[in-house]
Each structure stands twice: as structure tokens, then as C-alpha cells.
Structure 1
Amino acid sequence: MDDLYPPIQVRAEGMLDVGDGHRIYCQEAGNPDGKPVVVLHGGPGSGISPMARRHFDPEAYRIILFDQRGAGRSTPHIGTPDVDLSANTLWHLVADMEKLRERLNLDQWQLFGGSWGATLALAYAETHPSRVSEIILRGVFTVRRGELDWIYNGGAANLFPREWEDFLAPIPEDRRDDPLSAYRELVYHPDRAIRERAAIAWSTWEGAIVCLRPDPAFHNQYASPEFAVTFARLALHYFCHGAWLEEGQLIREAGKLSGIPGVIVQGRYDAVCPPATAYELHRAWPDSKLELVEAAGHAVTDPGMLAALREATDSFRSP
């Protein structure tokens, strides 16, 4: 992984009380006087990754990361029995980001997010454009109905038929016309064995389609019960509510990003978030640059993705 900076240690960490009974875990790394960038993890539910810090020159950037509500070390965790999800929505996450920015006394910060992290970045930037210096996105996802249908209602099944069959296996045959709602019932089932089996099947499906070529490391990560339960439960909570977005909202309101420079890094063969969405966003966002990585899928480690992301962060590292 020569296109990553060497491992970067956490310089500061702590919990931020964001209200509604939630506390989010936060980290800082790099130069405390550097250019602020906030890293928005995917999922929803995947949590902070140490590798995420390595996209940035630690001499130039003040690198800020946090676990979104319900994920990672934030509390209450999605795995908590009978967890209350009423205060865990996209707009709560946007508000959490503002609380964090204010707590850090930052006038502006750069946004960096992939997949679901790109969704959150767009929602925040369209709500608080004056607080954003630049945006770097990877594998754009905007939670439109067609995007959800592609992943979870048979679109990607045309490319991965055997894996799709495994994905459908936990669902009763009479419920397979709506996998999202069926899976949501399963991963919140009172029987632990049922909900864990469903979560692993849900997560393994995405692990199977995330890379351009099969990667056992991704499969093992996504099939791990500890990862899968958080990933599946939060994702289904968000996706079954359309992430509390109007249909097409993030693309339709991309004009609000005018004046904010950005780079969209997109794998040509992304089977999770096909390039059409990234292209539509690029057309609607006047100050964006689209970098289509020809030999890549959705995974950040696919060929060419890390190099394109480092080029983007390096291009914006000056104040």
C-alpha cells in the first residue's frame, strides 16, 4: 500500500456528548495546527478504521475522525438490547458533526467520505456549505430507491448470482419481493441466533461484491459476527427509512455546493455503487472533478483507488 502514508498514531481521543443520550467517540491525529479534515466512515456502522488516517499527510493535516451514533465506541451501541433508534437518523449525524466542529473551534473543515460516508458528507455540506473548505468522495451513494434496488433487490444479482442466492436464503420465500423489510425484521428478531445468522448473511453479501476481484480478507471481515451485527442493523435502520431523505434530494440540491472544490473518486466497475450516481453528482456540482478509476470496484484498496485519493488529499493540503 505504497499510496498510503505510514501508520499515523492517534494524538488525542475522547467522548463528546451530543444529546439524546448519545456520546460519540472522537479521535485526532496529525498536525494540531494543520488543515482540518474530518473523515466520515461508511456503513452505516463500520466505525473508525486506522487506515483512514493514512490518506493524509500528517505534517499538513489535522485529521479528525469519529464513530457515528450506534457504531464503534460510541454509546449506546446498536448491539445494545432494545436500543432506542428514534434519535439515530442522518440529520442527527449532521448535527453531531456541527457540535464536533464547534467543540474544536474550527471555522471550516475538509470532508472526506466513501460510500455511506459520501452520503453523510453531501448531507452536511448541503446543510452547512459555509463550513466546508473542500470535499473528497469515493464510491458515491445517495440512498435513492434505484440505488437501493440495485444492491438489495436484484440488480447486482446479475453479476453475482450464487452470492445473491446465499443472500436470499434466510428470507422466507413469500417475503423475497422486499428483502430490505424482511431483513430488518430478521436482524431485530428476539432470538439471538436468528438475528446473528441474518446479519452475517446480509453483511457477507456486501463483502462479496465490494471488491473487483474476490478478497478473502474482506469476506472474513464482513462475515465476522461482531462486524456484521452492527453493520446490518444500522444499515437496515437507515435504508428502510430512505435515510430520511426525499427521493433524489442530495443530487437535486447539489447546486448548494457551488464554490466548494471537490474530487469524486469512483471505480469504473463498482458493483455496490455504480458510476452513474457519481456522474450525476459531478454534473450537478459545478466545482467537482470526477476521477474514474478504470481497474477498480468499490473497495478503497482496489487498484488505483488509493493513489487517486492520495492525489486528491495532497492537492488540497495547503491552507
Structure 2
Amino acid sequence: MKELTRDNLAVGDGHEIHVRSYGNPGGIPALFLHGGPGSGVQESQLGIFDPSRFHVIAFDQRGAGLSRFDDRFHANTTPHLVADIERIRERFGIERWMVVGGSWGATLALAYATAHADRIGAMVLRAVFLGTRHELERAFLSSLPRFYPQLYADFVGLLPEDDRSRVLDAYWDRILDADPAVHRPFSIAWHDTERVLSVLSPDVPCLSEDLSARGDRPLPRTPFMEAHYFHNDCFLDAPLIEQVHRLNGLPGILIQGRYDLLCPPETSYALASRWTGSSVRVVSPAGHSMEDQSIRSALTAAITEMARLMNGRL
């Protein structure tokens, strides 16, 4: 996709967010929100947009990707990210736009949209995650042992026995520990486990290596930001599902993998039941990952459909 602009936007608190735009500057404005939190934008993800029809804006959230920071965790909360999105919209002079995001990107999309519904023309969300502890416990403490018992044993077995009654908090505490000897094995284990849960057919569904000994392996970035957000209930003041009524009447399509173990279909359906104007499109067979071609095709079709609606709204 043709890149139009690339810039760092100072948002205060020691943060500069990296903002890029692509496609047709006269096209339908669309905001793409990456997942994680902490993963950053991958340009390949933007292939779901028709570059001749859309003016696509994507940015690396605070502490992620090419964004700059003095301290990645300082002033890094969901309200900060929502405010950053408004700064970007104003920077580009956009009145209303389509908002597209998946997993954590869907969480942030909903947080932004419920705060600024008048700025939304349409939404396309993939693998809805509402940012609750219940969803994380369901994925790592219920789905994981049910579908990957050996991986669950490896995952929990990394903790001392005293901490196995508080698995998630114990992991996040260690991931955020400043000592590399502490955070290295737990950040890798979290990343690898999450990866298994996100794909239909993982290559190695266990933690078989000595995670402490692999000093040559680059550390994944997302576990640190995820631990920061998840430890703080994603910095949400109120449950998103209780605020989604503010979007009633706005069109939304929820793309959902049938066998998504991280963000299962029940969440998308629960959201749609409270959002008049939204619908769920189930993709099967498919899991969580946007790398699945069937998921990408469904996203492209949904975005095209929403574009037709927006043509009459802009």
C-alpha cells in the first residue's frame, strides 16, 4: 500500500507516537488499531483495505513499535490512548472515520467509540476482547488446560508452588520485574503460550526448552505491555459492554473465528446483543490470528460493505 505520510506526534508525558497514513488521501478515512497491547503496526495487516478507496491511518500506540518514550509504562493507559486517537483525528482534519481493530485493537476501538460516538462512521472489529479479567482467566486457566493440558502443565509449572493459586498475577509480577533473570523466562513463556492459543494448528504446543538458558533469543515486546495493562484491568473505568449502548444506530460488523480460544464467539455475540446496528460474522474454520487468510478475507469484505454505508454518511 502506498505510504502517504510518516511522522512522530508529540502527545506529552515523554511520549511521541509514530503515525503513518496510506492509500488515497481523498478516500474514506479509516483508522486501524493494532493489537497487543504493545505489538505495533505491521504494514502487511493493512492489506485488508482497498488503497484506491481508503485513506488509512495507523499508529504505534504508546510504548509500542516505532513510537518513542522516556518510560514506556508512564502515562500509558487506555484513557491516554483514547486521547491520542482524538489528537490524530484532529491532526488529519477528519470529521468521522471508520474504525477497525482486532483483539486488543477491538478493546481500544470500543473505548474510543463509546467516548466519541459522534466521530464514528462505521466499525469493523475482529476477535472482540472487552478487557476483563474473566476473559483472561477463561483463556489461560480454562481453555488452555482443556485443549493443551501439557502446555498448561508447563505454563503453571514454571511458577513456584506457592504462586500456583494466582497464576496470572504471578506471571505479570515476574514479567514486570526489572531483573532479566526473572522476567526473561516468564515473558517468553507468556508469549509462546499466547501464540499457541491464537492459531488453529500450533507447531509446538508445549514449553519444552529451558527458557532461562536461551539468552540469545530476543525478548518479545508484547508481554511487558500486556502485563502492565492486564494487571490494571486494562485501565477501564467501567465495563465496555455496559457502555456499548452509546453506539446504538452506528453500523458495526464483528468478525469472529469459530475456534478462537483467546477471544471466543460468546463475547462477540454478547456485545452484539447490546449494540443495535451490529452483527456477527463467524468464520470457520478459523481461530484468533489475523494471519488466517479466511479471517483477512472476511475483514476485507466487511470493510468494503461498511464503505458503501459510509459513502452516504460522509
TM over 0.5: yes
Does residue 223 of structure 2 align to residue 235 of structure 1? no
In the alignment, what sits opposite 1:263? 253
Q: CA deviation at 1:166?
A: 2.4
In the alignment, what sits opposite 1:146? 134
Does residue 235 of structure 2 align to residue 244 of structure 1? yes
| 8 Å Cα contact 1:153/1:178 also seen in 2 | no
Helix, strand or coil at the partner of 1:94: helix
Question: 4+ residue runs of structure 1 moved beyond 6 angstroms?
Answer: none
Q: CA deviation at 1:11?
A: 2.2
Tell me the TM-score normalised to structure 1 length: 0.89
Tell me the TM-score normalised to structure 2 length: 0.90
State percent identity of aligned pairs.
39
In the alignment, what sits opposite 1:5? none
Q: Separation in 2 of the partners of 1:111 and 1:212?
A: 27
Moved more, 168-177 or 36-45: 168-177
Moved more, 149-158 or 192-201: 149-158
Does residue 25 of structure 2 align to residue 32 of structure 1? yes
Paired residue type of 2:259: Y
| 8 Å Cα contact 2:256/2:283 also seen in 1 | yes
Q: CA deviation at 1:194?
A: 2.5
Helix, strand or coil at the partner of 1:164: helix
| 8 Å Cα contact 1:34/1:59 also seen in 2 | yes
* Structure 2 alignment gaps of length 5 or more: 208-213
Paired residue type of 1:316: M
In the alignment, what sits opposite 2:277? 287
Q: Separation in 2 of the partners of 1:210 and 1:203?
A: 11
Q: CA deviation at 1:71?
A: 0.5
| 8 Å Cα contact 2:176/2:227 also seen in 1 | no
Helix, strand or coil at the partner of 1:153: helix
- In the alignment of these two chains, the number of paired residues is 300
In the alignment, what sits opposite 2:4? 11
Q: Separation in 1 of the partners of 2:218 and 2:242?
A: 37
Counting only pairs closer than 5 Å after superposition, residues 148-297 of structure 1 correspond to structure 2 as 148-215=136-203, 226=218, 228=220, 230-246=221-237, 249-297=239-287
| 8 Å Cα contact 1:295/1:303 also seen in 2 | no
Which one of 34, 43, 65 corresponds to residue 72 of structure 1?
65
RMSD over equivalenced CA pairs, Å: 1.9
| 8 Å Cα contact 2:184/2:219 also seen in 1 | no
Q: Separation in 1 of the partners of 2:126 and 2:203?
A: 19
